[in-house]
Amino acid sequence: MLVEQTLPAGLLERNWEALAIALNEAGPDKEAVFLAKVALALSSMLPDPGRLEQVIETALRDLRHEELA
């Protein structure tokens, strides 16, 4: 898993579905901007500013790993 799962599986699945629906609504031409806005909004809720940097690095490592696979 990309990051440590702290949510119950049902809630994680609900969040995944809500995000997928919103991405479809935003459309392919605006999905990157939409995701950036979501990420910035969520980052403003983090008590530790360094946590966002950790999540970004983890996501980049995961993408690189997928490219190599």
* pTM metric for this prediction: 0.75
For range 35-62, the mean pLDDT:
90
**pLDDT at residue 4 in the model:** 65
31 burial level (CB within 10 Å; 0-12, 13-18, 19+): middle
Cα angle 7, 58, 22; round to 5: 55
Q: Quick one: pLDDT at residue 2?
A: 63
Per-residue pLDDT band for 28 (boundaries 50, 70, 90) equals very high
Q: Dump pLDDT digits (tens) for 3-26.
A: 666 778 889 889 999 999 999 999
At residue 68 the predicted structure's pLDDT band, cuts being 50, 70 and 90, is confident
